[in-house]
């Protein structure tokens, strides 16, 4: 039996192949579990006297390793020769790989932040989950204040000690806690309210909050800042209108409208034929808010405003359903590949 095995070892050494099919046939001849040469030898090995098994086992292992090494060697040579025969034209253009693009919300967010950074605002990030103090109380929302009803809040804790922020205004409080005036920041982020999802509203949306606190800050400074933003973002022919409003954390407060970018202020179905589009809420920081953070309201004053990025994006691109921004429909998103 040893002589037969040695004869196969010599056969393996002499074997050569130029095609992968020949190598596979060689592999099946020796390694097939049904009728391979090695399978036959290992079956007979069980009946060999114990004193002969050591020498026979060594020869069998030599045959097995020879077969495996030969297969690896031949496959490598065939693949190498195959690669050499491929004629590659390196002057041909590469494959047209389809790259992704920025989401329209991201595009508008970056543009808005860039506009405010050009006039000295610093962008900061703040937590999405916060406590009642930072989200409500410090912003002049007393526990029983009716303005709390304006916020349909998601509470994280049963005792309502933690909330998912309803506005990025919580960032104002956190920043004023750790910094002294002058303060000039913009705070972008996701906000959440327990609202029904429709074409005009969603339970999650993106906001950008701005805060400026210093000595002798007036409503005129607020108006000039927002006029600058409106002209930079919507175009230099854009006009701004302030309407009296109410927010617990600002006094006086105002809603801000811009001339409709679709009709140029002439009136259309987008602006409901008024010529104006509402874009944000604003006002002078209430003295109570400053005092809550240990800032002397007799020495310092400030303004704040917040805008919804979805609202601005819908106005810019004529999107009539806010749900499109969250559905990840490629047919919708592909329209913004080149913006």
- Domains defined along the chain, listed by start: 2-84 (no CATH), 104-336 (3.30.930.10)
Q: What is the pLDDT of residue 214?
A: 97
Distance between CA atoms of 77 and 82, rounded to whole angstroms? 8
Confidence of residue 151 (pLDDT cuts 50, 70, 90): low
Dihedral-angle region of residue 284 (phi above 0 means left; psi in -120 to 50 means alpha; beta otherwise): beta
Q: Is the pLDDT of residue 147 over 60?
A: no
Q: What is the pLDDT of residue 263?
A: 75
- Would you tell me how many other CB atoms lie within 10 Å of the CB of residue 171? 24
Q: What is the pLDDT of residue 46?
A: 73
* Residue 214 exposed, middle or buried by CB count within 10 Å (0-12, 13-18, 19+): middle
Q: What is the pLDDT of residue 122?
A: 96
Distance between CA atoms of 209 and 172, rounded to whole angstroms? 8
pLDDT tens-place string over residues 206-234: 999 999 999 999 999 999 999 999 999 98
Residue (of 219, 222, 190) closest to 119 by Cα position: 222
Give every strand in the sheet of 276-285, ordered side by side.
122-123, 183-192, 204-214, 301-308, 276-285, 250-259, 240-247
Q: Is the pLDDT of residue 82 over 80?
A: no
* Residue 47 exposed, middle or buried by CB count within 10 Å (0-12, 13-18, 19+): exposed
pTM above 0.95, yes or no: no
The mean pLDDT value for 104-127 works out to: 95
């Amino acid at each position: 039996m040893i002589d037969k095995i040695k004869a196969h070892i010599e056969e393996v050494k002499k074997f050569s192949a130029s095609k992968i099919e020949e190598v596979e046939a060689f592999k099946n001849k020796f390694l097939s579990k049904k009728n391979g040469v090695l399978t036959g030898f290992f079956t007979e090995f069980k009946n060999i006297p114990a004193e002969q098994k050591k020498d026979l086992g060594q020869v069998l292992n030599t045959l097995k390793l020879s077969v495996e090494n030969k297969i690896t060697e031949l496959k490598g040579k065939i693949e190498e020769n195959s690669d050499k025969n491929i004629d590659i034209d390196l002057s041909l253009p590469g494959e047209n790989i389809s790259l992704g693009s920025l989401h329209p919300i991201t595009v508008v967010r970056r543009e808005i932040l860039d506009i405010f950074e050009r006039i000295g605002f610093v962008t900061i990030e703040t937590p999405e989950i916060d406590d009642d103090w930072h989200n409500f109380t410090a912003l002049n929302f007393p526990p029983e204040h009716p303005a709390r009803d304006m916020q349909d809040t998601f509470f994280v804790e049963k005792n309502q000690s933690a909330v998912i922020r309803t506005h990025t205004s919580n960032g104002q409080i956190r920043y004023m806690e750790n910094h002294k005036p002058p303060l000039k920041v913009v705070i972008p982020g996701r906000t959440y309210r327990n609202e029904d999802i429709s074409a005009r509203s969603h339970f999650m949306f993106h906001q950008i909050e701005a805060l400026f606190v210093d000595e002798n800050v007036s409503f005129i400074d607020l108006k000039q800042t927002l006029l600058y933003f409106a002209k930079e973002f919507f175009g230099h022919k854009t006009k701004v209108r302030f309407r009296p409003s109410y927010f617990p954390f600002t006094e006086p407060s105002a809603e801000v409208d811009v001339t409709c970018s679709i009709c140029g202020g002439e009136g259309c179905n987008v602006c409901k034929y008024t010529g104006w589009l509402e874009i944000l809420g604003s006002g002078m920081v209430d003295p109570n808010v400053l005092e809550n953070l240990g800032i002397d309201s007799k020495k310092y004053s400030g303004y704040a405003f917040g805008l919804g990025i979805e609202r601005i994006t819908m106005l810019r691109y004529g999107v009539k359903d806010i749900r499109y921004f969250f559905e990840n429909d490629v047919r919708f998103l592909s329209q913004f590949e080149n913006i």
